[in-house]
Amino acid sequence: MAARICCAIDFSEASLLALVEAAELARWSGAELTLIHVHPVPEGEVQPEAFAMASVDLHRDMGVWSAEAERRVGAPVRTEVVAGDPATEVLRLARRGSGLLVLGARGRAPGGRRLGSVAARVAREAPCPVIVVRPRVPLPDEAETYHAA
């Protein structure tokens, strides 16, 4: 098993599922877990006050997710928050020595692709194994049973 696991999060349901998977793998294997969040750089002019407020919210949210990961792993978890293109930055972290990448995919992307562009690019270009976690979609008969009950 990998000595270092990197889990990319964007605070979505899919990334929460990825965090749970990565934390379980880290706990089971004794690997170091790093959470990374890449904040996309907005195009155009950004007001400094808005950027400062977003930064405070981002670090608060990252602290909450980090605490949850530490609770699940039973050991300290590293965090990184960077600005840039999500796929590029996750791949950069992977090239610095990650043995395994875990990330969530929100579901079908436009054009019939099964993965979004970030997950697909990371899976294609990563120098290490990648686990892509997707939310479970109920089968049609499960949905009918659920709604009929």
pLDDT at 52: 58
pLDDT at 148: 41
Residue 139, φ and ψ in degrees, nearest 5 = -65, 155
What value does the mean pLDDT take over residues 126-144? Answer: 74
> What residue ranges do the domains of the chain occupy?
41-76
CA–CA gap between residue 149 and residue 130 (Å, rounded): 38
pLDDT at 109: 52
CA–CA gap between residue 120 and residue 91 (Å, rounded): 12
